[in-house]
Chains A and B, each alone.
Chain A
Amino acid sequence: MSKTQEKDVIVRIADVDKSFDGERVVKKLNLDVERGEFLTMLGPSGCGKTTTLRMIAGFEVPTSGQIFLEGEDVDDKKPNERNVNTVFQNYALFPHMNVFDNIAFGLVEKKVKKDEIRRRVEEMIRLVQLDGMEKRMPSQMSGGQKQRVAIARALVNRPKVLLLDEPLGALDLKLRKQMQGELKALQRQLGITFIYVTHDQEEALTMSDRIAVMNRGRLEQVGTPEEVYNYPETKFVADFIGESNIIEGYVEHMTEDSIEVTMESGKAVIPETGYRMEEMVYLCIRPENLKISTEQKEGFRFRGQVREHIFIGSTNKTMIEMPNGQMLKSVTPAEDELVPVGTTVNVYWNPGKAVVMRTKEEQIYNVIEQSVEIEGMRNDQIF
C-alpha cells in the first residue's frame, strides 16, 4: 500500500487474463503504470498488445483479474465512463464531421459550454499544427494530418491516460520519425500518461520512459530502454530488442567471483556468481560488444572463422562462423582495420558485457504455464 503511494500508480493491471473462444491471448498480466510516464508495450504481432489496451479502454472485459484506474476497480465501467482516451491505429475519425467537430466531439458529450469548446479546440488545433484546417473533412486530409486530428481529438479531453495503438504504423518512415518527436514533446509538455503500443523496437527505445516487452500474451520484462537493451532478462527480449548473439552453454567450473561456461564451440570465463554447477545458461552479447582478434585472449577459448564483412555506412558487420555452424555477428566502426575473410580468429568480449540468462528458469516457467493452462481447462469444464 505504501509502495503504491510513493510510486503514484495510475493504471494497475492485476492478474489479468483474457481468452477468446477458450484461447488465452493475455496471460496473468501484472503491470503498474505510473502517473506521467511514457510506457510502451512492445511485442510481436498477435502477442496481445491491442487486447490489453482495449481492456484498459473498456472495449473488452478481462476473463479474470482486475484493472484499476487511479486505484478504482473499473470492472463495471463502460468505455464512455472511463477517464482514458484512445488514439486508434486507423485514426477512426468521424467521416461526416469536419476537423473542428471531430476534435470537439468529446467536449460536446461532456456538455462543456460553447465558447469554452471553441477556445479549447482552437488551442488544440494550434498545438498539433493544424491551423487553418478547421473546416476540412477527414477525406480531404493526408495520413499525417488525420493522425494529428486523432491525437488532438483525444487530448482535448485532458484524459488521465492516453492509449495509443500503433498510432504511426500507417505513416512513411520520414513522417513517422517526425511524429515520434512531436508526440514525445507533446507528452512532456502536457504531462499526460501515455500507454503506447508498437511492434517497432526502435520506436520503443527512442520514445519510452519504460518498455513492457510482451510475448505470446505474457510480460517478459518491464524496464527502462537501457535496462531492456543492456540487461535483457529472457532470451526472447534479447532476441527481439536489437541484434544479439545468443549462445547456449552450461556452467563447468566456478570460482569465488566467476563462472566458466562451456559452449559447443568453446569456453569463456564470465565474472558472475550465483549459478550452480552444470546449470544451463544462455549468453547474450550485443554485436557491438563482440570482438575478434588473432591473438589468444585471457579467459576465452572460443575460436571461429571470418566468413563475411558487410559494410553498413558508418559501421562494418563481420560474420564469424563457429565450429558448430552458428554465425556470430560483430559490429565495428568502419575505420577499424578488417581481418581478412577465412582467417581463424579468437572471439571475445570485455568482461561484464555478456548477459547471462538462466535457461532452467525458462523451463520452470513453461511447466508452470502448462499446468496453469490445464487447470484453466478444468475450470472451464466445471463451470
Chain B
Amino acid sequence: MEKRRKVREFKPGSVFYACLVYLFLYLPIFVVIAFSFNTSEMNITFEGFTVEWYGRMFENRQLMQSFVNTIIVAVASTALSVIIGTLCALGLYKFEFKLKSMISSSLYIPIVIPELVFAIALLIFFSSIHVSMSMVTLVIAHVTFSMPFVVITVRARLAGFDKSIEEAARDLGANELRTFFRVTLPMISPGVISGGMLALTMSLDDVVVSFFTAGPESQTLPLKILGMVRKGVSPDVNALSTLMILGTIVILLTATLIQGKLEKKM
C-alpha cells in the first residue's frame, strides 16, 4: 500500500517562462524603486545613487497634501464600504422579500459598467443636486464602487453558513446583538477583511472616478501624478511611490496572515 507522492520536477523551460512572467509583472515596479535613488532629475538614465528625494518629497507641499487626501479618502471609503456592504450581505442572507434577486443582482452593476460611464453619471448626479465636489463627494463616489466588492466577499462567506450556529448562540442566552458580535461577525470576518482589502486598494489607485468627483482641494495622489505627466514626473514622486509600495506590501502581508489564522481556526 505504498503511496508515492508525485513531485513534479521543474523543467528548465518552465522555470524560464515563470521568470519572464514575474519580470513582466514586477520590472516596472523595480524601475520606479531604482529611479527613486537616482541623482538625475530625468527618469531616463541612472546617473548616481542618492536618498535626497526622500527628504525632498516632504518639502513638496502639494504632493504631501494629495498623499494625505488619498489616505483619508481610502480609509473613510473603506470603512463605510465594509459597514454598509456587510450589513447589506447579511440582510440579503437573512431575509426573504420581494424583488430580492433583482436587488441583489443590481448590486453588481457598478462593477460591470465602464468606469468612465459610472464616473460621468456620478458627476451629473452631484451637480444636478447642486453639491460641489469635495472630499465628501469623493468618499461617496469611492463607496459606490467598492461597496459591491464587500457584499460579494461577505456573501460568499455566508453561503456556507449554518443557520443553526446562530440559533445555538440564541439558545445559550445571547441576544441578537451579542450573537452578532460573538458568533456571526467572527465567522464572516475573513470575508469582511478581504472585501475591505479590495475596497482599500481600489480606492488608493482610482483615477477615473476621482477625476470627475474630486474638488480642487481634494486632489488625490493618482490625480496629482496624472497632472505631472506632461511636465515630467519628478523623482520625489518615485520616492513616495516606493514608500507606498512598501506600505501596500506590509498591509497585504498582515491581512493575509490574519485571514489565514482566522480560516485555519475554523
A109–B168 CB distance below 8 A: no
Separation in Å of the A254 CB from the closest CB of chain B?
56
Contact with B along A79-94 (1 / 0, CB 8 A): 1100011101010111
Which residues of A16-70 are within 8 A (CB) of B?
Answer: 57-59
A137–B171 CB distance below 8 A: no
B173–A88 CB distance below 8 A: no
Contacts of A137 in B (CB 8 A): 265-266
Per the bound structure, the CA–CA distance linking A85 and B164 in Å amounts to 13
Contacts of A110 in B (CB 8 A): 173
A92–B165 CB distance below 8 A: yes
Kindly state whether residue A153 has any CB partner on chain B within 8 Å.
yes
Interface size class of B (residues with CB under 8 A): 20 to 34
Contact with A along B226-266 (1 / 0, CB 8 A): 00000000000000000000000000000000000010011
Contacts of B182 in A (CB 8 A): 105
Whether A92 touches B187, Cβ cut-off 8 Å, given contacts A78-B175, A80-B173, A80-B175, is no
B172–A90 CB distance below 8 A: no
Contacts of A59 in B (CB 8 A): 167, 170
Kindly state whether residue B56 has any CB partner on chain A within 8 Å.
no
A92–B266 CB distance below 8 A: no
A94–B265 CB distance below 8 A: no
Kindly state whether residue B100 has any CB partner on chain A within 8 Å.
no
Of B164, B170, B178, which contacts A78 at CB under 8 A? B170
Contacts of B266 in A (CB 8 A): 95-96, 137, 139
A80–B165 CB distance below 8 A: no
Q: List 21 A-B contacts (CB under 8 A).
A: A58-B170, A78-B170, A79-B167, A80-B172, A80-B174, A80-B175, A85-B171, A86-B168, A92-B165, A93-B165, A95-B187, A95-B265, A95-B266, A96-B186, A96-B262, A96-B265, A106-B172, A110-B173, A139-B265, A154-B172, A157-B173
| Chain A residues close to B by CB (< 8 Å) | 57-59, 78-80, 84-86, 88, 90, 92-96, 105-106, 109-110, 137, 139, 153-154, 157
Seed contacts A79-B170, A93-B168; 8 additional CB < 8 Å A-B pairs = A80-B175, A86-B167, A86-B168, A88-B167, A94-B168, A106-B172, A109-B174, A153-B172
